């Protein structure tokens, strides 16, 4: 890949790297497909993108999981990491680089980064006494804790956010002068685009204004307490705190400290879940500023998935595996549901009846049906895609007017929604356009028009119906491509749309394109349409 010198044309987009203490669930899939859709949208705009994901493999949480699985640590990590890679492959998450924090290249990058912090005077040897949460790999302050009774009735402290148990920890640690960065963080947050949606920008700004999580931060743990981690370069009796290790992955993947990383620095959009806003919105920019690097341009934060309105958790046994869900709804169906249902600022709910209804009514009955009605043997025996430039204005009806209006505006609406990361609005806009197109087909009854082969007006009208309907499906497929790349590509292949005509600019209707009045044809086979799911 070659990146433009004008770095505003280059887009560097990341997902979190996923802990390997367990295999992928629907929440991981959401982060990954959301990022992938944004990348594909940027590619359609003609930007150069670099898209990374991967796995986070150090710390006690991982070591404990490996012990439970009775496997050596690295072998265990490799196995689970492979499941995340498989998730990406199966769900068309088209990453440029998949990183594992156990790679040698990553360890070198972390060392270099550490040295920079040290040289610039931001690290000192200090004491930590406070609460540590192994499940979250987080140091928590009192305001982040609540008391609860465990099963034996004993009072315990847990993280207010995650509900995970914390343990008292007192040790000598290397510390990072986080407290010195309040003003830098405020400055970084001045731009509203720094954190999206606005709700999370507000939350983070409040934390920073109050100085809530801004005490100096331990960036090592005593090595014999946390042996499965990168050792500290300045003192081998310490391990590097897993979050410092993990965050540096975003530099490693660009080849840091090799100069080439500058072509893409800083990250354009970093997708994160709301549970890790503190790490990405406070620690990460502070580390970067301390090391003399620019912090990310935008953090795109999303909420979580509930399952039938309950929090997903291992103990409830309601964790949804993307692989199992895909066997019911297909990979593309699940991807569509997730991206069409989720709204970044609200928790989304996963419910099988709703999934079936949405997939059947939108992908099968609306998109699939529109195409099917215009390509069947009776209606369109010679497999034509009559040129929209020639037939655009032929149909005289209110539904045809509405369809044309809808086709003219859908690209603009969808673009605005993509820019705001509101993919559910993208889908709404496309579906409304496709509903219009279906109504238009129903009104003009192409199957009746076909019966009047001797009447030139009827044949003209028939061609116009087919043309407008297929033009609607072409534009729908293009706009939905970032969301359902496999189904969209299949449809665009079927419509014989050349690869170079699949950019965002091509989402405008072609009625004005008088240069090419050639008739087009559609393919005879190999159309992948969404198959209606029978109720289970
Ligand atoms: N492993 C973390 C998580 O899954 C994310 C790390 S991103 C640098 O929450």
**Choice between 313 and 235, residue whose per-residue pLDDT is larger:** 235
Residue 7: predicted pLDDT? 67
Q: How far apart are the first and last CA of the chain?
A: 46
- Mean pLDDT value of segment 43-54: 97
Instruction: Return the sign of the alpha-carbon dihedral for residues 269, 272, 274, 275.
Output: negative
Task: In whole angstroms, give the CA distance from residue 372 to residue 385.
Answer: 13
- Of ligand 1's listed atoms, the one at least distance from the Cα of 18 is 4
The pick from 23, 52, 56 for probing ligand 1's pocket by mutation, whose C-beta has the most ligand atoms within 8 angstroms, reads 56
- What's residue 516's pLDDT? 60
pLDDT at 2: 62
Query: Does 331 have pLDDT greater than 70?
Result: yes
pTM to 2 decimals? 0.96
Give residue 7 CA to ligand 1 midpoint distance, Å: 27
Residues 189, 357: Cα–Cα separation, whole Å: 41
The per-residue pLDDT for 86 is: 98
Q: Is the CB of 247 under 6 A from ligand 1?
A: yes
The mean pLDDT of the chain is 95
Which residue owns the Cα nearest ligand 1 atom 4? 18
Q: Is the pLDDT of residue 159 over 80?
A: yes
- Does pLDDT of 514 surpass 60? no
Q: Ligand 1: does its nearest atom lie under 6 Å from the Cβ of 246? A: yes
Closest ligand 1 atom to residue 284 Cα is: 8
Please determine, for residue 1, whether its predicted confidence score (pLDDT) is greater than 60. Answer: no
Summarize the confidence of residues 183-201 as an average pLDDT. 98
Average pLDDT over every residue of 176-201: 98
Q: According to the model, what pLDDT value does residue 8 have?
A: 72
| Alpha carbon distance 335, 354 (integer Å) | 14
Task: Note the pLDDT tens digit of each residue in 373-396.
Answer: 999 999 999 999 999 989 999 999
* Cα 56 to ligand 1 centroid, rounded to whole Å: 6
- Give the three-class secondary structure for 275: helix
**What is the mean predicted confidence (pLDDT) over 270-284?**
97
DSSP state letter for 496: T
pLDDT of residue 6: 64
Mean pLDDT of 456-478: 97
Cα dihedral 57, 112, 244, 247 sign:
negative
pLDDT tens digits along 216-260: 999 999 999 999 999 999 999 999 999 999 999 999 999 999 999
- Cα(519) to ligand 1 centroid in Å equals 52
Rounded CA separation 523/525 (Å): 6
For residue 124, what is the enclosing H or E element? Answer: strand 123-133
Percent of the chain with pLDDT over 70: 97
Inform me whether the pLDDT recorded for 515 exceeds 60.
Answer: no
Does the beta carbon of 17 sit less than 6 angstroms from any atom of ligand 1?
yes
Nearest CA to ligand 1 atom 7: 16
Q: Residue 18: is its pLDDT beyond 70?
A: yes
How many angstroms separate the alpha carbon of residue 371 from the centre of ligand 1? 42
Q: To test the ligand 1 pocket, which listed residue (13, 19, 54, 275) has its Cβ within 8 A of the most ligand atoms?
A: 19
How far is the centre of ligand 1, averaged over its atoms, from the C-alpha of 279 (Å)?
A: 9
Q: For residue 63, report the phi and psi dihedrals to the nearest 5 degrees.
A: -60, -45
Tell me the ipTM for this assembly.
Answer: 0.99
Asked if pLDDT for residue 334 goes beyond 90, the answer is yes
């Amino acid at each position: 890949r070659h990146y433009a010198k004008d770095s505003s044309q280059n887009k560097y987009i990341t997902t979190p790297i996923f802990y390997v203490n367990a295999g992928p669930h629907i929440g991981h899939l959401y982060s990954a497909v959301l990022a992938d859709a944004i990348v594909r949208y940027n590619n359609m705009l003609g930007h150069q993108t670099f898209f990374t994901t991967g796995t986070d493999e150090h710390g006690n949480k991982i070591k404990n999981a490996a012990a439970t699985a009775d496997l050596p640590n690295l072998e265990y990590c490799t196995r689970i990491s492979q499941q995340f890679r498989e998730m990406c492959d199966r769900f068309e998450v088209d990453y440029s680089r998949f990183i594992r924090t156990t790679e040698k290249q990553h360890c070198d990058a972390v060392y270099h980064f550490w040295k920079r912090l040290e040289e610039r005077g931001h690290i000192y040897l200090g004491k930590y006494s406070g609460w540590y949460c192994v499940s979250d790999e987080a140091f928590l302050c009192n305001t982040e804790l609540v008391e609860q009774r465990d099963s034996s009735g004993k009072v315990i402290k847990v993280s207010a956010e995650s509900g995970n148990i914390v343990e008292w920890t007192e040790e000598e640690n290397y510390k990072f002068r986080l407290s010195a960065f309040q003003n830098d963080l405020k400055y970084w947050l001045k731009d509203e685009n720094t954190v999206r949606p606005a709700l999370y920008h507000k939350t983070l700004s409040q934390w920073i204004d109050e100085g809530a999580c801004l005490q100096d931060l331990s960036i090592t743990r005593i090595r014999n307490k946390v042996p499965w981690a990168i050792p500290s370069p300045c003192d081998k009796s310490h391990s590097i705190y897993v979050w410092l290790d993990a965050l540096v992955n975003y530099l490693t993947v660009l080849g840091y400290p090799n100069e080439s990383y500058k072509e893409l620095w800083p990250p354009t959009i970093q997708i994160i879940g709301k549970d890790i806003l503190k790490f990405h919105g406070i620690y990460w920019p502070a580390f970067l500023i301390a090391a003399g690097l620019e912090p990310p341009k935008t953090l795109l934060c999303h909420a979580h998935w509930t399952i039938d309105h309950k929090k997903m958790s291992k103990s409830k046994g309601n964790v949804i595996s993307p692989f199992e869900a895909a066997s019911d709804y297909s990979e593309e169906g699940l991807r569509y549901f997730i991206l069409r249902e989720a709204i970044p600022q609200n928790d989304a709910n996963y419910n099988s009846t709703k999934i079936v209804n949405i997939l059947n009514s939108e992908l099968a009955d609306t998109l699939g049906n529109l195409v099917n009605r215009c390509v069947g043997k009776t209606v369109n025996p010679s497999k034509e895609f009559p040129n929209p430039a020639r037939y655009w204005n032929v149909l005289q009806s209110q539904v045809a007017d509405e369809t044309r209006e809808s086709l003219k505006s859908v690209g603009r609406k969808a673009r605005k929604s993509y820019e705001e990361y509101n993919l559910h609005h993208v889908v709404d806009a496309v579906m409304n356009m496709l509903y219009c197109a279906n109504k238009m087909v129903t009104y003009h009854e192409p199957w009746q028009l076909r019966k009047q082969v001797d009447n030139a007006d009827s044949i003209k009208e028939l061609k116009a119906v087919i043309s407008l309907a297929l033009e609607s499906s072409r534009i729908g497929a293009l706009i939905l491509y970032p969301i359902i790349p496999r189904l969209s590509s299949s449809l665009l292949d079927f419509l014989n749309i050349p690869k170079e005509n699949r950019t965002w600019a091509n989402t405008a209707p072609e009625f004005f394109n008088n240069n090419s009045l050639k008739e087009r044809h559609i393919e005879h086979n190999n159309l992948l349409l969404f198959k209606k799911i029978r109720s289970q």
